[in-house]
Structure 1
Amino acid sequence: MGFSNTSYLNPRTVILIGIPGLEHVQFWIGFPFFAVCLLALVGNTFLLIIIPTERTLHQPMYIFLAVLAATDLGLCISIAPKMLVIFWFASCSMAFDACLTQLFFIHALQGMESGILLAMAFDRYVAICDPLRHTSILTPSVLVKMVVVVAIRATILVGILPILLKRLQLFQSVVIVHSYCEHMAVVKLAAEDVRVNKSYGLFVAFAILGFDMMLVFLSYILIFRAVFRLPQREARLKAFNTCTAHIVVFLEFYILAFFSFFSHRFGHVSPYVHILLSTIYLLVPPALNPIVYGVKTKEIRRRVAQIFIFNTQH
């Protein structure tokens, strides 16, 4: 499907082509993506069932993990249905307003995920660097306020993106070279001056992802400094072990995020490589996060085993 030379004034619909250059195998690519989404849905649903019902998990880290699981579910629901419909049924058209709505939810949930990872890093910092005051600092009301601030920040900053796009009237094409509505992919359709859109998109990326990443790095510098000061090797290993799951989740999220972000704006990778990687970046962490925390947390492993044993006995 090629681009049209015609200009479009206030288009009501857009066309998502999926993965450019791989249209002939998109049907088959849909199956591994479906498997990843199914794994994410099942894994995060388990977390949302287990964490509220298991009293030993009523701690700040696992409360944040439950919020992360809800965010990951939202990401999968925002992306997967339309993407799989494109891959399997070649249903590529989408209302422009629906596209902007999808764009908002994808980027807002990304921003929330980044903020929750920062909150989890702060929890680990307090737990290791000031353990005696951990429960008095991270009280239930403080946890609620942190989650609310993360949600409001993402909603306000990302909410301006579709507003800025909506003010554009003239487009050189309505064909989005992507499998979902992503901000820069939509910006590139415009036949008008989009410097404000690009600049604000960069600002949002650095105000959320860049800011959070720097603070997470700072938290871990302080954490590692405190860990290496512990006199006993067993104490150092135990303290470090409480952080490993979060470190794995943090690295998978930010490495994929920034590779996708910079390749889209400044890189020269093939379009299908970029779109595959950006889709993997959004769908793989939600599938891996429950596995990482399930492997590292015996209470989660035990409850999952109980659920399966109960179901097999009935």
Structure 2
Amino acid sequence: DFLFAKATVVIDGAPASLWTGTSPIANHPDPALLPLFPNAGMRGLRKWRFEFRTQLSQPAQQVTLRWHDFAPDRITDPLDPPPLPVTGEIQAQGLVDPFMLTPAEPAYTWSRVSGGLGDRLATYPIPTAVTKPISIALRYGLGASMLATLLLWRCSTRRLPVAAGLSVSLGLALILFQTPQREIPTEQLSAAAKALHLNMYRAFDYTDRDTVYDSLALSVEGELLDTVYEEIFASLVMRDEGGAVARVTSITHHGVTPNTPTLLTREGTPRWSSMVRVQWTVRGRVTHWGHSHQRADRWSALFLLQETSDGWRFTEGVFEERIPEDLEIPDVL
């Protein structure tokens, strides 16, 4: 009744019914729950696990889980306990998505992914080279100088003004020749780098190693592919929790700073490239039976962002720094 008296699970807009349950299983007494012992006795030291199943006539396209009543968290504050968040993760279509339910956000909705790997990735406007403003100014200046020199040559008998006009025109032409004519705006490179970096972590939403690699290859290529996999996977393994792999819950970018892009010719084709420094914090959570642990790391890395035949990719890079951060929020039961 506690779970299903209200519409706890809604599948494709209709409350799920005809649930069948398994026998509840209790774990061993947990010392972390000792603050509950004075009021609840041994019951407060044990956690119970229930499993419920239902049958569907066709694969679900959308599933919503809504939690209606939140227990008081007497461990955090025995006198004025806040609501106890409910955490979990959903495994479907080869993906693992963690979620947290709170009184402010009491529902989580899962939607079926109908497309391929790219449907889960962040998108960005393709960086496009534009003519530099200084190049436009130089062209107008060169045109005006040549016109003035021509008028002086036809209308004046004095050679000095004509020579001066020719000198100015030649100088402007030389500067124009040596000045790069096009550039890619910094904000476009920053947006592309931020999206590709975010997609590096989204690849680890998958549980199959080959699928993780296939998803990573949409953001990274070359030898950097193995480096990124090893660095990120190692950072998600919580060795003090028996080697459990944390699931990424958020990425916060503190800085995405591209250098001035250069146009290089590779295999006969001109390609743009830029070194980009990325600074970010990644937060993750590993969920066990009855509780979850959270962690956060602050990173700094330098990547080479390049235009390739398959689109923009990180092709080289160095992970410079990783600093664990202390989380002010406690582990969630």
Task: Give yes or no for TM over 0.5.
Answer: no
| Bigger relative contact order, structure 1 or 2 (CA pairs below 8 A, ≥6 apart) | 1
